[in-house]
Amino acid sequence: MPIPDVEILNKLGAIMHVALRIPEAEVIPDARIFDDLGAESIDILDIRFRIEEAFGFKIDEGEIMRSIDPDKGFEELKDQFTIGATAAFIRQKLDQLEQGHA
Amino acid sequence: MNMRRVVISGTGAVTPYGNGIPAYWKGILSGHGAATPITSFDVTSLPTHFAAQVPFSDRELEEFIENKKATKTMSRAARFAAIAANEAVRQGNLDTHALDPWRFGTCVGTGGLGFFDVEYSDKLLEIFLRSVRVEDGKATFDAGQVRRNTLDMVHPLTPLKALQNILTAHIAIQFNARGVCQTVTTACTSAAQAVGEAYRIVRTGAADVVITGGSDSMVNPNGVVAFSAIGVISKNNDEYRTASRPFDNRRDGFMIGEGAAMFVIETLEHCLARGAVPLAEIIGYGSTCDAYRLTDPPPDGRGCIEAMRLALRDAEIDATEVDYINAHGTGTRMNDKTETMAIHTVFGNNAVPPVSSTKSMIGHLVAAAGAVELAACVLALQHQIMPPTINYREPDPDCDLDYVPNEARKAHLETVLTNSFGFGGQNATIVIRKPPL
């Protein structure tokens, strides 16, 4: 049974709350992780570690950004690095795992 | 060189008596020690089961820190430091936004093992357990697996907690202090040297205002194991409430303490110009190394003697002008004997002022010791009371001074001196006096 999208968002809300000490209500799909939610670069390590623990898969360095656009660099993608984009990445990873097990 | 006068204008502390300077002063005047059984981890297999512990969990400490996100990379010691620094800035009425940030610095003493907190120590155990392979009923240990598991299982920000200077950096960020930023790690002398160096920084004009002090927490599995291995802490679990016995003949080592004290120091001119009230003036600092053995003081106490003499010379005062000494006074056989002898040598046999060890109450705060003890000296000057050496019952013939036994004592205090000595042979002495009117 695949994890519903709403559950992914809920889990991401809890992760951001702990990692960035912000209210879960601020963790909406359009929120940009750097500019809107106030992350700094070391927070991304923290968030990545927590996503790995919460969803049970490993994430390579830069993998989330590459999932947004593999041809663009970090600075260009900073504004597109949102909660929604991260949730879509998690969805994609979970689906790949699901297919792998099928 | 035109030397500037340096004053302490704010103090803050997190101690085994709780959060804040008032709790600390009340505690060290009470005559009741702060020892409690260690319950944050299992100590049954260790020889020592007690310490003087700050009565807040790491999570509870977060409540006192405004920037919650910053606590992710704060060790327990860094949390103490942030809280104490905030109190010092508030108490000193320092509007940090009004300062020239490049003339505003930080200089803090801290230790090296503080990040081995209970959570991290437990995680390491789990990593080791998961790295054992059992095949055909035979267990083998896979070191490569330990490294892989460490990378996978340890939180990626843990290394930042382990860097000593991160503690100081947090304070600099908190208050936008962009000037000199130094971290001193010289074991039990760390805080005294940090304050001493900060005093020199301000005195010689490299900065106008510095947040300084010390913070440490060794009440963790590694800390207790380390001190037990070196054989310097009391094992008197049956009488833990009174086990910290500096200068008493029954002493069997020190009690581990934890906490922080922080200060705002600045030039007298800067302090008065912003309408603040100085609490004390730092007038002398001496720093030496025994260059002898790592943990034994030299039999002639030369390093301690010279540190005190240098501080008195720097203060341009005679030894007879010192009204009270807050001793290093750890409660180990060797320290208390050597320090007593050194004090005799510096002050002359008939002119030694009263000496007390606040470690008898709060334990040995290791890298923070010199700071909490300096805070005790500032409070002693303010209130004209000498805190006592508690648990003092049986005199040691080698320790024959007036140790202000068991009860705080009123006294006329103009000038006080505090000593800190540390593994490695570092010695530091600071002399302060009542603030200029």
CATH of residue A33: 1.10.1200.10
Strand-pairing partners, residue B35, are B52
Question: Is B155 in Cβ contact with A21 (below 8 Å)?
Answer: no
How many angstroms separate the CA atoms of B332 and A59, rounded?
52
State the ipTM, two decimals: 0.84
* Closest Cα in chain A, distance from residue B152 (Å): 9
Three-state DSSP class for B47?
Answer: coil
Q: What is the pLDDT of residue B1?
A: 59
Q: For residues B186 and A61, what is the distance between their CA atoms, to the nearest angstrom?
A: 37
Going A20 to A24 to A26 to A27, the CA torsion angle's sign is: positive
Unique residue bearing structure tokens 């020889």: B47
Rounded distance between C-alpha atoms, residue B53 and residue B18, angstroms: 9
Rounded to the nearest angstrom, the gap between the alpha carbon of residue A23 and the centroid of all alpha carbons in its chain is 17
C-alpha distances (whole Å) from B238 to each of A16, B31, B37, B212, B254 are 47, 20, 11, 38, 15
pLDDT of B399-417, one tens digit each? 999 999 999 999 999 999 9
Give me the DSSP letters along B346-377.
Answer: HH-TT-PPPEE-THHHH-B-GGGHHHHHHHHH
- B69 CA to chain A: closest CA distance, Å? 5
Would the CB atoms of A19 and B157 count as touching at under 8 Å?
Answer: no
- Asked if A46 has any chain B CB less than 8 Å from its own CB, the reply is yes
Residues of B within 8 A of A17 (CB-CB) are none
Helix B302-315 and helix B333-347, axial crossing angle in degrees, nearest 10: 40
CATH superfamily assigned to domain B6-112+161-433: Thiolase/Chalcone synthase (3.40.47.10)
pLDDT at B117 over 80: no
Q: Given an 8 Å threshold on Cβ–Cβ distance, is A21 in contact with B156?
A: no
Q: Phi first, then psi: what are they for A93, rounded to 5°? A: -65, -45
CA B310 to chain centre: 21
Q: Which domain holds residue A11?
A: 5-101
Of A21, A42, A45, the CB nearest to B68: A21
Task: Give Cα B339 to chain centroid, integer Å.
Answer: 18
The catalytic residue among B270, B304, B364, B399 is B364
pLDDT in tens, B80-103: 999 999 999 999 999 999 999 999
Interchain CB distance below 8 Å, A42 and B68: no
- pLDDT tier at A102, thresholds 50, 70, 90: low
A19 touches chain B (CB under 8 A): yes
**What per-residue confidence (pLDDT) applies to B115?**
63
- In this prediction, residue B120 carries a pLDDT of 82
Question: Of the candidates B8, B25, B19, which has an alpha carbon nearest to the alpha carbon of residue B258?
Answer: B19
Which residues of chain B are in CATH 3.40.47.10 domains?
Answer: 6-112+161-433
B188 catalytic per annotation? yes
Q: Are B420 and B192 in contact (CB under 8 A)?
A: yes
- pLDDT for the residue numbered B114: 61
Q: Does A51 touch chain B (CB under 8 A)?
A: no
d(CA A71, CA A87): 20
Paired tokens of A59: 């994430």
- For residues B139-170, b (16+ Cβ closer than 10 Å) or e, as one string? eeeeeeebeebeeeeebebbebbeebbbbbbb
pLDDT value at residue B299: 85
pLDDT in tens, B145-204: 989 998 888 899 988 888 899 999 999 999 999 999 999 999 999 999 999 999 999 999
What per-residue confidence (pLDDT) applies to B294? 86
Record: contact B69-A21, CB cut-off 8 A: yes
Q: Do the Cβ atoms of B55 and B245 come closer than 8 Å?
A: no
Average pLDDT over residues B377-389: 98
Whether B97 is catalytic is: no
Q: Where are the alpha helices (DSSP H) in B204-301?
A: 221-230, 268-273
